[in-house]
Structure formats: C-alpha cells, structure tokens
Amino acid sequence: MVIALLAVSFLTLAVTAVVPNVPAMIAAAVVSIAVEVFLYRSQRGLVAMFAKMHVDTTVRHLVRDLLIVVALVRLQEQDDEGGMAGPLLVLLAFYGLHFAIQAVSVVVRRARTTPVLTRNIDTSGLPLTAAPPALLLRRPGHRLLILGLPATAGLLGAGASGEALWGVAGAGVSALAALAGLFVLGSHLLPGRRPPSEAAVLAWFDAWLAEYKPTIGMYFSGGAASAYQANMWLEPLAKLDGRPVIVLRERFMMQKITATDIPIVCLPQVHHLMRLEHSTLQALIHPSNSGKTSQVLRIPTIKHTFVNHGESDKLSSCNPYAKAYDEVWVAGPEARERYALADVGVEDKDIVEIGRPQLDGIVTYKGAPQGEYTDVLYAPTWEGWDGNPGNTSVVAAGENLVRALLADPKVRLVYKPHPLTGSVDPRAGAADLRIRELIRAANRGRTGARPGPEAVAELARRTAELDRLTTSTFRESADNLERMMLQTAPEPGRAAAVTAATSAWVEAYWAALPAWEHQIVTDARPDIQTCFNRADLLISDVSSVISDYMASGKPYAVANTSGLSETAFREAFPTVRAATVLTPDAAGVPALLERVRDPELDDLREARAELKLRLLGPSEPPSQVRFNDAMRALCESALQHRRRMTEREAHIPGQRAAAPTGDPELTTG
C-alpha cells in the first residue's frame, strides 16, 4: 500500500510535468511527502530497501522537485511569461549546500571516529566534545526531507498563485537553513572542538589498562542478530573472581550488549587489539566463532577458551574451529563424547566440564500442571545453513503441531520462533507467518476474563523502569558511535538493580496476560528461560533449546522431520533419548498432553534425570562454582606461560620483553 501510494504520487507528478495541472501536482506532492515521513517514522525496512535499489530519499526528493519545476516551466510557457529562473537558481543553491553538508559530514565523522570505544569506564580524562546533531552528521535523507520542505512548499505555492516569488522565498528559506547547518557542522572541525587524536586516545587506553589491571574477560564479534550469544554470559562472567572486561570488535555491538557493570571496550582495528598483549589480561571466554576470532588468538600472553552459546547434537556444536582455542568448556560428559566421536582435532585433555551457569534460575519439575491450563512452549529452531530438512520443524510439521495443540481447549500455547527463521529458506518464513495467523484466529475464538487495568498499569510501570535501567547505559548524545565514550563510570549496583527489575517485569508480564490466551513471543523479553519456567511442556527441534530445558526436568517432545525412523532418530541425536518423538502429522500430540497432565503416565521421568546429568553435569558443586574454578585454573596456566616466556627472553640478547606477568593473586581478584 505504501509503495503503491508513493509510485502513484510520482507518476502523477510526472504526468503534471507534461500536462500541467496545479491541483493534481499539489495533491501528488503532498501525498509523496506524507509517505516519506511515514517511511522514516515506522517503515525503516522499506527505507533500506529503496536505498539498495538506488532510489533513496535524496534521489526521490530531487526527482520530486525537478518534476515540480518542469511543471512550473510548462505553466509559464502557456502564459507566455518568464520568471522561473529565480526559484530555479535558489533551489540549485540549496541542493549545492546540501551536498556540501554531506561532504563535510564525512570529514567530521572521520575526525570523530575514535580508535577505542568504551562503556562503564570513566573517560573524564579525555577531552571529549559533544557531537554535532545527528540530522547533520548521519542522516542525509532525513536532512534533505526536512530542510527541503520549505523549497518544495514554495514551488507548489508558485504553481498555485502564478507568482515566482513564492518559489524564491521557499527555496531561500531552505538554502539559509542548509547554510546554517553547514556552519554548525564545519565548526566541529575547529581546533578547539576537535576530539583527541588517535595517539592521545590510545595513550589514555593504555593508562586505563595499567590502572584497572583486567585479569579475565569475554571476546565477542558478530552480526547484530548474534548479540544474544554474548548477553547470556554477562551474569556468569560478572560473578567470577577477578577483574573482568568485555572486548568487542564492531562499533554497533556496543549498543547490543545489555546492561552490565563490566567494563566494555571496542577495538575495531586489529593493530589496536594487539595492545592487550601488554596488559594483565590472562584469559578470555569466547561464546562464538567469527572471522575476527583468529586475530585475538594471535596474542600469546592470553589463554582462550570456547564456551559456546548453547549445545546440541548438531554438527555446529563440535566445529573443527574449536581446536584453535587453548581449552573448550562444555556443560557435561555428553558434549565431551560428542567431540570425541566427531574427531575434529579437539583433544580430550583440553575439554573442561563446567555445566551451564546461566541455568541456575530454571524452575524444576513439580509434577502435573498447577493451573487450569497446560502451558505448552513451542520453540522451533531455524532452518540452518546446510539445508537439512531435519533442522527445523516449522516447514514440515509446524502448522500440524500448532493445530493439534490449539484443538485442545485446556492448552495455552506460547510460540517462540527462532529470530533467524526464514532468513535462509523462504518456506520457513512463510510457514512461520501462517502459524502466527493460526494462533491469532484461535485467540479470536476464545473468551474469558482479562486482567484489570491495575495489572496493565503495573506492567507499563515495570517496563518503564526496566527500560530506564537498561537504556541509561548510554548518556544522551546525537552521535550514536561516540556516546559510549561520553559516559562516566557506571552507577554502582546498577547490574543488581537490573536483575531485580527484570524479575519484577517478568512477574508483571505474565500477570497482565489472560491465562487462556495463546501468546506469540518474538521480542527479546521475555527470554527463552522465562518461557521455560512458565511451560509445563516443551516442543522443539534438535537444538540447544532442548539441552537448556533439561535443567527443568520437565517433559519435552522433539519433532522428527529428518526422514529417519524413530529408532534411528533417537540413535542419531542423544538429546532425544528422554523425549517424546512427534511425527510431522502431529498425531501423537493428544497422548502427549495426557501424559503431561497425569504424572502416573510419565514413563520418561527417570530417563530425563539421567539425560540431564549427561548433558549438564552434576548439580553439586553448582555450575557457577565449576565455571569459576575452571577460570582460576586457566588464569594460572596463563601466568605460568608468561613466566616461561620471560625466562626464555631473558637469555636472548635484544629480545623484546614479554608482556607484564602481573601479580598471581590477580586470578582471585
């Protein structure tokens, strides 16, 4: 609809340029500008799509004004009068100033791009300056739309009145506004308003490393959608003994990491990353593999361990890249055996079982469902990169499973698809949309009491409080890339406050929803573990979701869309051993629900307990304790390595001194 309106408005402008019609020209211009505003406010995806097609806002605005000018010239020719030269010259001046702003903005951005970005670090020692308005610095299309509005209005006024003066006045206002913007932007290139030089920032960073003396940390690099992989390790990392730091490589990732008190540094350039070699940093955990991981692995003074962002029976959970790390930390013995069977070069001596410290808050099995409704969580994974039909159940079984669940009047379905669903196979995306419509239709056919306005107001209050705590990570600034550097030290206790606020928000969230209403959960909140705690039953695919859900001990089912027989399916995927296996037609759903509601029929409870031990390891000592012990041992290994390096280099004349070994007590904080 939006694209059609935009196309019709431009087509109408083109027609009025050939056959002048003032009312039609004004109407088409107003509609096109209204659509532009709507696009910028709520359809950023379409804005990006137009940019990829090389018809971005600048092109569209230029074409729109050009068509209006042509129409005005045609009108003047019909009246045998001149006078359009003035508005045209002023309009050209405005566009010249606009492109001058664009050129200067590139220079200013480059001058203000610091080699290091930080969060939760006091940067008062750096003479940082406030950034120019984002409208001038980073939003050329939005800038042209706003500054060019008087010019377009003036041209339309000239067409309606026949007076060229309106066009001159409108274009003149736009030109003056652009000139003022150019002056404001250019002032940031003056010596007194320039940010510190690269050398000054790096010297400050080295001084901070020497003062803070980080000992442990997390390294992360990836795309915007992968931030959850790092976020799941924030709390366990914060609880470790030592002085933690988070090392990022992409500037945009600074805003994707959720609220934490851990110092965060972003080092986009590899030669700046190498400065960590001369710090007291001893060990880094890695939640994922990326192309840039190999760069940090070059630092010999730091020990590296792969902790992954989840474990499953998929080949990705025993990637050959893992052998590049000093150690691989897994949840339990099942993962150890998985690496042995995969034979990808990871030696058994380098594998350490630590459990899953993120799962400490999972509610354990308490028997039959406690409420009127049986809460079923359907959390399928995505289609993956290899095209294996067994990766996701969404395409072959999703709609059948959902229909079978919705057919039971005492089921409350919570559907939480993987964020990447449909990103590789369009069929998965289409099936996901159909599943959502099935759920919405089922809700329209259900009736029941709804929570009162007090519950809704409480959720709004809790949401506002949680947003305040999590977004106040950044100081307000127009320049998204620099505001991380503009903040001072973190507010003490903010991480604990976020934890408490999150818990309160979760309680308010579920309290504000009708107990009978099916839910589609696609936002970051509530997270998958929160959904675990609400569920009486999980239905999923072979993925890390199953492994994590095992911490609850509650019943679960796995959809078999692989084409294998049930026996072969269970043999191929150990995490399915304690599951009810569902066929693509979902024929087994009614019997499954019956077993969930009657613990006497639950013949897989002992199998789940045994599998939980294999997947996640023992409950004692707690996973966080084992995580801490593993980190201590790895740090001690790093210190011993540094001592050996120092001893060797002491016997080689002219050899560069090794990085500082620090104090062995640094491993205990």
Q: How confident is the model at residue 653 (pLDDT cuts 50, 70, 90)?
A: low
Least confident of 190-199, 277-286, 448-457: 190-199
Q: How does pLDDT run across 8-23, given as a tens digit for each residue?
A: 988 998 898 888 888 8
Q: What is the mean pLDDT of the chain?
A: 87
> What is the predicted pLDDT for the residue at 569?
93
Instruction: Flag whether pLDDT at 664 surpasses 50.
Output: no
Res 317 pLDDT > 60? yes
Average pLDDT over residues 562-568: 92
- Confidence check: pLDDT of 654 > 70: no
Which of 161-170, 219-228, 553-562 is the most confident on average? 553-562
pLDDT for position 333? 92
Confidence check: pLDDT of 306 > 80: yes
Tokens of 209: 């490393």
Judge contact between 598 and 572, C-beta under 8 A. Answer: no
Q: In the prediction, which pLDDT does 37 show? A: 85
The architecture that CATH gives domain 358-449+515-616 is 3-Layer(aba) Sandwich (3.40)
Question: Average pLDDT of 402-421?
Answer: 95
The answer to whether 95 and 181 are in contact (CB under 8 A) is no
Return d(Cα 611, Cα 615) in angstroms, integer.
Answer: 6
Task: Report pLDDT for 474.
Answer: 40
**Do residues 306 and 663 lie in contact, with contact meaning Cβ atoms separated by under 8 Å?**
no
- pLDDT at position 490, please? 52
Angle, CA of 248, 251 and 257, to the nearest 5°: 60
Question: Of all residues in the chain, what percent carry a pLDDT higher than 70?
Answer: 91
Ranking 457-461, 469-473, 548-552, 590-594 by mean pLDDT, the lowest is: 469-473
Q: What does 330-380 look like in DSSP terms, one character per residue?
A: ESSHHHHHHHHHHTSS--GGGEEE---GGGGGPPPP-SS--SSSEEEEEE-
Across 282-296, 361-375, 537-551, 622-636, least confident range:
361-375
Residue in 233, 209, 326 with CA at minimum distance from that of residue 636: 326
Which residues have CB under 8 Å from 505's CB, separation 6+? Answer: 459, 462, 463, 465, 466, 525
Return the C-alpha torsion angle 595, 600, 601, 602, nearest 10.
70
pLDDT band at 135 (very low <50, low <70, confident <90, very high): confident
Average pLDDT score over residue span 275-281: 94
Q: Return the structure tokens found at 111.
A: 């001058």
Between 93 and 475, name the one with better pLDDT. Answer: 93
Averaged over 139-158, what is the pLDDT?
A: 88
The pLDDT of residue 665: 42
Collapsing DSSP states into helix, strand and coil, what is residue 327? strand
What top-level class would CATH report for the domain 213-355+619-669? Answer: alpha beta
pLDDT score, position 35: 87
pLDDT at 633: 96
Q: Report the pLDDT value the prediction gives residue 80, as an integer from 0 to 100.
A: 53
- When mean pLDDT is compared across 1-5, 266-270, 430-434, the lowest value belongs to 1-5
Closest to 535 in 3D by CA, of 303, 373, 403: 373
47-56, 406-415, 612-621: the lowest-pLDDT one: 47-56
26-64 per-position pLDDT tens digit: 899 899 888 888 887 778 778 788 878 888 888 888 888
Boundaries of every domain in the chain: 2-113+131-193, 213-355+619-669, 358-449+515-616, 451-513
Sign of CA dihedral 466, 467, 468, 474: positive
Residues facing residue 117 across a β-bridge: 266
Confidence of residue 83 (pLDDT cuts 50, 70, 90): low
Q: What is the pLDDT of residue 159?
A: 83
Q: Check residue 78 and give its pLDDT.
A: 63
Q: How far is CA 417 from the centre of its chain?
A: 15
The one-letter amino acid code at 412 reads R
The reported pLDDT for the residue numbered 479 is 39
Q: Which residue has the higher pLDDT, 593 or 362?
A: 593
Whole-angstrom Cα distance, residue 350 to residue 228? Answer: 26
Query: Span 513-526, mean pLDDT?
Result: 92
431-486 residue pLDDT tens: 999 999 999 999 999 988 899 999 999 999 999 988 877 764 443 333 344 444 44
Q: Do domains 213-355+619-669 and 358-449+515-616 have the same CATH topology?
A: yes
Better pLDDT: 658 or 108 = 108
Q: Is residue 239 predicted with pLDDT exceeding 80?
A: yes
Higher pLDDT, 21 or 313: 21
